Structure 1
Amino acid sequence: MTFWVYILRCADGSYYTGHTDNLEKRMGEHQTGTCGGYTAERLPVELAWSQECATREEALAAELQIKGWSRKKKEAMMQGDWGKVSQLAKKDFTKKK
């Protein structure tokens, strides 16, 4: 079985991060508002980024990690700019000290 971690761009410009074992079905649920919650109030939504994961645990861990990131860091990751992600991670680390 394949699992996914994903980021949606909501109509208000915000991002929603989640994980699933059926990305196509979950996207349909988000787009119709049937899953309720955050995205149901911010329709329409579009898939901004997704990554395949080997296990549900890996997908959940990635979701929780990404949820803790700044908007800029999420956007750098979605653009594949890993240098900027690394830079932003260092900034996050120095802020926490």
Structure 2
Amino acid sequence: MTDAVPVVEKVPAGHVPLAKAAEKIRVQLSNIMEILFEGRLRRSCRVPTAKGFSATMVDPVEIKRLLLTPRPGMPASLAFMISGIKPKPAGGCLNPTMVASF
């Protein structure tokens, strides 16, 4: 991870430490760590004045966007669940009597 996350002298506007990002967008830190280790956080950076994970700065807006974006190959039902959308059947398409008549 340290090679993939660049070191910067000045923290970009809007960037915060990992724990603060989790707090701000109300997600578990493990969710942020997962996308960080997958290399999906393109705007993350490290500060030379800190060590370990406390040196990693991330953009909460980027994280929120990534967590709401369905992954390729993800079933629609899971994407809806993650996004908090509860799909309703369209018309009578899921009516059991209509299915039986085919």
Normalising by structure 1, what TM-score? 0.26
Q: Which has the higher strand share?
A: 1
Larger Cα-atom Rg:
2
Normalising by structure 2, what TM-score? 0.25
Q: Which has the higher helix share?
A: 1
